[in-house]
Structure 1
């Protein structure tokens, strides 16, 4: 669509007329000699002079219109385009081991389905940030690299399946993969702008790197880790004592990981508690802001400016002949 960038420049349009009305007529110091027979001798020459003056005035008017048209900066605006923003880098490591199919957090939904709903809404709120997704079980793998395309990351999370990465839990290797991806990030790492949100319902039972050791390496790299333990509360046995447990969390290790990196540990036994956890992380690590957009503009001021330059040539030649 056509857009005028500087419409206020159109106020210059009547400037030549105002100057002609306000400025006094040019004075001449020459002595006039009245010859009454001259008009009878050369009427054609006088008429030609008046026509030439009118043509010069019309040419000047067109020239001025073209200059004002260039001054208002006509543009053609293209379709809106997203503006890349420099926000946080948020890596989400989600446990998809076999125990995540337990249904103890929200009725008929298993733990992973609850996480998909709640964490999906968290991802949708991270406007301006780059979010990545790691799924881990016996081994970790990168499901979505760091990207500002939040809808795609959320879609990948929704497609996660319990047990697709193996039945066990490799917490340390998940942290190690996060560190590797951050080091390979072409945009570089800046301390304080990168967080890892590690969610699990169990303890470390697989992998090569011990979780706390991996957390120390993360702290050296400037990676802050928030750990979330999910799963129902332990069941009570006889006489109010704890009997069996539906949660096999190693809370001591999860707290140690968070403390080593300057993060925090959270416990969520149901969907409502998990929503509060992600809301708390949102407050601790606020997103960069809403997505920003711009409309690319193609400038067209050079067209009337070029036309004005071309028309100024005969005007200058006429002025030169008049002076001669």
Structure 2
């Protein structure tokens, strides 16, 4: 019952200028105005019944005309009072991040040492699945995708269209940018893409499983550039133990292929953090932690726009006024 009553009240209009209703009794002042007697020609009816019938008809027509004029005045006052309805709630845009995702596509990312859904997959396939889930949660962010191997390439610019970023990531393959690892160039290119974005929102997340072996810029030099531009860099070393193999035999010391020391220095220099993921489960936890470290702020209170409804009573007032004038013409 309360819901029905609330819905009924919500249908009632609000008036922006309710003081306009004070003009409603103004026509009553016309009754105080002295009437001038008309001395024009009159129709003389010799028979009393016909005269009474004519007076009754004239009185009825006058009452109908007065009713039309009063209704027109009522609608005109309603239009001046500006009736309004509240539209559907609109949420303001969320305060989000400007984020570049840098993904390693070097040859070692094809190593099949990860588990995904109970199946053995390569590192890139596992990374794609985790990143796709991460993108789903970043509603409101503007995200760009950069891949790197021997060189660094920006596949998508910063965009709020996360589906496009996800599609580009899905179509990326190992070796697309070369078989080596240009880690420093990837960080520098990400910083360049974020240079024009608002301060405090510039974030780079680098996923790699190797050591900087290509490119023209060292990772630590790129970290200095990121710090100067106010870009936080989060580095993720991804790769399982025994990540390199030869003829199906795992080689010892494979974990040393990831330069954890350099990745740690890059992150600490820029105000970010370094993470180590040896399997898919750990990678999922890392991106969940990144959600906590770089949260998408909730939207502010919803706003309900005011929709003007004054054209309706104004149009009705014009129609009633025209009818009243037409009725007077017919009487004449």
With the length of structure 2 as denominator, give the TM-score of the two structures: 0.72
TM superposition shift of 1:105: 2.2
TM superposition shift of 1:72: 4.8
TM superposition shift of 1:311: 4.1
Distance in 2, Cα, partners of 1:75 & 1:307: 22
Residues 1:219 and 2:231 aligned together: no
**Contact map agreement 2:65 2:324 (CA 8 A) in 1:** no
Distance in 1, Cα, partners of 2:176 & 2:90: 37
* Partner residue of 2:96 out of 64, 84, 87: 87
Q: Pick which of 146-155 and 65-74 moved more.
A: 65-74
Residues 295 and 102 (structure 1), Cα distance of their counterparts in 2 relative to 1, 3 Å cut:
farther
Q: Which residue of 2 aligns with 1:126?
A: 138
Residues 247 and 311 (structure 1), Cα distance of their counterparts in 2 relative to 1, 3 Å cut:
farther
**Contact map agreement 1:233 1:246 (CA 8 A) in 2:** yes
Q: Which residue of 1 aligns with 2:194?
A: 182
The gaps in structure 2 that reach 5 residues or longer are 1-7, 16-20, 35-47, 244-250
Aligned pairs for 1:223-262 within 5 A:
223-234=231-242, 243-245=252-254, 248-262=257-271
Q: Which residue of 2 aligns with 1:269?
A: 278
Aligned pairs for 1:1-324 within 5 A:
7-9=11-13, 43=52, 44-45=54-55, 47-61=57-71, 64=74, 72-73=83-84, 85-106=94-115, 107-183=119-195, 188-234=196-242, 243-245=252-254, 248-289=257-298, 301-309=310-318, 311-312=320-321
CA RMSD of aligned residues (A): 4.2
Q: Pick which of 164-173 and 295-304 moved more.
A: 295-304
Q: Secondary structure at the match of 1:225?
A: strand
Q: Secondary structure at the match of 2:114?
A: coil
Q: Pick which of 301-310 and 196-205 moved more.
A: 301-310
TM superposition shift of 1:181: 1.4
TM superposition shift of 1:83: 6.8
Distance in 1, Cα, partners of 2:193 & 2:102: 12
Number of residue pairs the alignment of both structures matches: 285
- Once the two structures are superposed, residues 91-117 of structure 1 have per-residue CA deviations (whole angstroms, 9 ceiling, x without a partner) of 100000001001112252000000000
Q: Secondary structure at the match of 2:254?
A: coil
Q: Secondary structure at the match of 2:188?
A: helix
Q: Pick which of 298-307 and 244-253 moved more.
A: 298-307
**Contact map agreement 2:94 2:140 (CA 8 A) in 1:** yes
The gaps in structure 1 that reach 5 residues or longer are 30-39, 236-241, 320-324
**Contact map agreement 2:84 2:306 (CA 8 A) in 1:** no
Distance in 1, Cα, partners of 2:33 & 2:97: 75
Distance in 2, Cα, partners of 1:141 & 1:295: 44
**Contact map agreement 1:128 1:288 (CA 8 A) in 2:** no
With the length of structure 1 as denominator, give the TM-score of the two structures: 0.73
Q: Secondary structure at the match of 2:276?
A: strand
Distance in 2, Cα, partners of 1:170 & 1:258: 17
